[in-house]
């Protein structure tokens, strides 16, 4: 009972470290960075017992290889804490995301948007793109919650449809719509990691990611339209549907997203801040001001405080992954054996499309065994470091982002696939099989666009 109460207050420890990190981004003190690294080690030590088995294995692997690499650099042990802080920005971003989720919930945008799924259509083919675009819009703000909300509505609306058809429809429309939002959303951690790894500018990357999302959405909508049109849809009656109100809610969300992106870009340019840090420090004030404008401050605080505390107290997997990954990446960067990784890669530099496809397939293959795409980026760190010397960083960022996000639809042990499996009662490997063509095409479009940008 005592241990449980201690874990319930982890949010105080975590948030203190994150506030120090934010402060140090402005003053850039080496001494404070050392202190943050030492606290990061304590975070890793405290989080490890509560992490899932997979993340313990990944964390242990990164630490073990990092120690071997560190031994070849000749640096003193006192240098280790400073090697643990490079991913602290990503952890801080993760800590702030619940506040944006909360303001969208407090404004009841999730309920309003799901009315789109209650508009009468004659067959499932016409419902498919509407279901996908609804999940996409919600996911831009709500992330994982968006898939769950859309699935619950569709389960209710499609209760008269045969179970195998209903399961297939929900598993494709919602998971694919979900992925199409995350590939460009400034609030998505996979995009943030790809930008962080390659050092590219979000503004330079955004048009290409939007193009990839648009092309993939159009192709998938055409497929869904023809694949499901043979199934009739007996629409459940819904009272008080207000098309004008729904349009206003949609426009409200789009304007809010545009304002957020504009503010992130403007502030980043004015203060010369990197993208991830700018998003992190803007989320809370932006969400608070938004709730004030909507006159929803009370519900924003009620929902937000509880959501934020629960999220902070459940960060153990990402703490283990990101801190061990930082040590691994920083250790091998100066390690003498990095040349062994580079040599075979040099042979394929004249065939970049092959490299891109291999990266994509690596993400998909590892995701089927439960390896998180962020961990896959960590595993590929040595390769990425080498490729950045010879290739356009924007191309590599596109490949990493699309390959990582595509795995969310096929990762059999991934959180969103498992959630969908529970919601629909179907085998997660069935979801993987149904979405594998989509994941390959999605990643393939990303690789093709990246190739033409070289």
Neighbours of 203 (CB within 10 A): 13
For the whole model, what pTM was predicted? 0.85
User: What pLDDT sits at residue 428?
Assistant: 86
User: What pLDDT sits at residue 241?
Assistant: 54
Q: 397: which 2 tokens?
A: 């960022």
Count of structural domains, the chain: 1
Q: If phi over 0 gives left and psi between -120 and 50 gives alpha, with beta otherwise, what is residue 397?
A: alpha
Q: Which domain holds residue 422?
A: 2-452
Q: What are phi and psi of 431, to 5 degrees?
A: -60, -40
Of 116, 181, 117, 100, whose CA–CA distance to 154 is shortest?
Answer: 117
| Distance separating alpha carbons of residues 278 and 1, to the nearest angstrom | 39
Q: Tens place of pLDDT for every residue, the chain, 454 residues?
A: 444 568 788 899 999 999 999 999 988 899 999 999 999 999 999 999 998 887 898 889 889 988 988 888 788 888 899 999 988 988 998 899 889 888 888 887 766 666 666 666 778 888 899 889 888 888 887 777 778 778 887 887 888 888 888 999 999 999 999 999 999 988 888 999 999 999 999 999 999 999 999 999 999 999 999 999 888 877 655 545 566 777 777 788 888 888 988 998 899 888 888 888 999 999 999 999 999 999 889 999 999 999 899 989 989 988 998 899 889 888 877 655 555 555 666 677 788 999 999 899 989 988 887 778 888 888 888 788 888 888 999 999 999 999 999 999 998 877 788 888 888 888 888 899 999 999 999 999 999 999 999 8
User: What pLDDT sits at residue 40?
Assistant: 94
User: What pLDDT sits at residue 188?
Assistant: 87
DSSP-assigned beta bridge partners for residue 282: none
User: What pLDDT sits at residue 236?
Assistant: 56
User: What pLDDT sits at residue 169?
Assistant: 93
Distances (CA, A) of 247 to 115, 244, 250, 254, 325: 11, 5, 5, 11, 44
- CA atoms 387, 393, 395, 400: torsion sign: positive
User: What pLDDT sits at residue 343?
Assistant: 62
User: What pLDDT sits at residue 331?
Assistant: 83
Convert the chain into a string of H (helix), E (strand) and C (coil).
Answer: CHHHHHHCCHHHHHHHHHHHHHHHHHHCCHHHHHHHHHHHHHHHHHHHHHCCHHHHHHHHHHHHHHHHHHHCCCCCHHHHHHHCCCCHHHHHHHHHHHHHHHHHHHCCHHHHHHHHHHCCCCEHHHHHHHHHHHHHHHHHHHCHHHHHHHHHHHHHHCCCCCHHHHHHHHHHHHHHHHHHHHCCCCCCHHHHHHHHHHCCCHHHHHHHHHHHHHHHHHHHHHHHHHHHCCCECCCCCCCCCCHHHHHHHHHHHHHHHHHHHHHHHHHHHHHCCCHHHHHHHHHHHHHHHHHHHHCCHHHHHHHHHHHHHHHHCCCHHHHHHHHHHHHHHHHHHCCCCHHHHHHHHHHCCCCHHHHHHHHHHHHHHHHCCCCCHHHHHHHCHHHHHHHCCCCCHHHHHHHHHHHHHHHHHCCCCCHHHHHHHHHHCCCHHHHHHHHHHHHHHHHHHHHHHHHHCC
Neighbours of 50 (CB within 10 A): 18
């Amino acid at each position: 009972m005592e241990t449980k109460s201690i874990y319930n207050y982890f949010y105080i420890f975590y948030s203190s470290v994150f506030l120090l990190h934010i402060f140090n981004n402005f003053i850039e003190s080496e001494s404070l960075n050392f202190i943050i690294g030492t606290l990061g080690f304590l975070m890793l030590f405290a989080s490890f017992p509560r992490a899932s088995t997979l993340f313990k294995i990944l964390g242990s692997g990164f630490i073990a290889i990092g120690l071997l690499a560190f031994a070849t650099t000749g640096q003193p042990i006192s240098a280790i804490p400073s090697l643990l802080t490079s991913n602290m920005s990503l952890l801080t971003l993760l800590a702030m995301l619940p506040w944006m989720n909360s303001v969208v919930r407090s404004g009841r945008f999730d309920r309003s948007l799901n009315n789109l799924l209650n508009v009468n259509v004659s067959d499932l083919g016409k419902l498919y793109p509407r279901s996908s675009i609804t999940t996409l819009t919600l996911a831009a703000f709500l992330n994982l919650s968006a898939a769950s909300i859309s699935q619950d509505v569709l389960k209710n609306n499609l209760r008269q449809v045969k179970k195998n058809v209903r399961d297939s429809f929900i598993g494709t429309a919602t998971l694919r719509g979900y992925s199409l939002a995350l590939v460009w959303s400034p609030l998505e951690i996979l995009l943030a990691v790809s930008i962080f790894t390659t050092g590219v500018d979000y503004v330079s990357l955004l048009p290409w990611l939007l193009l990839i999302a648009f092309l993939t959405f159009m192709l998938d909508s055409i497929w869904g339209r023809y694949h499901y049109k043979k199934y009739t849809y007996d629409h459940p009656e819904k009272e008080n549907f207000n098309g004008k109100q729904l349009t206003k809610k949609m426009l409200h969300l789009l304007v809010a997203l545009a304002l957020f992106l504009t503010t992130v870009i403007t502030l980043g340019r004015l203060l010369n801040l990197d993208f991830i840090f700018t998003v992190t420090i803007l989320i809370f004030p932006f969400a608070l001001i938004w709730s004030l404008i909507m006159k929803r401050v009370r519900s924003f605080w009620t929902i937000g405080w509880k959501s934020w505390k629960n999220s902070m107290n459940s960060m153990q997997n990402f703490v283990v992954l990101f801190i061990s990954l930082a040590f691994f990446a920083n250790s091998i960067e100066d390690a003498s054996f990095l040349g062994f990784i580079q040599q075979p890669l040099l042979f394929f530099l004249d065939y970049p499309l092959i490299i891109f496809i291999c990266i994509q397939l690596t993400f998909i293959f590892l995701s089927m065994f439960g390896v998180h795409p962020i961990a896959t980026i960590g595993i590929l760190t040595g390769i990425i470091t080498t490729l950045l010397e010879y290739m356009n960083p924007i191309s590599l960022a596109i490949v990493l982002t699309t390959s990582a996000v595509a795995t969310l639809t096929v990762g059999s042990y991934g959180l969103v696939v498992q959630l969908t499996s529970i919601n629909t009662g179907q085998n997660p490997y069935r979801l993987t099989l149904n979405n594998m063509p989509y994941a390959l095409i999605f990643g393939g479009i990303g690789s093709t666009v990246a190739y033409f940008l070289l």
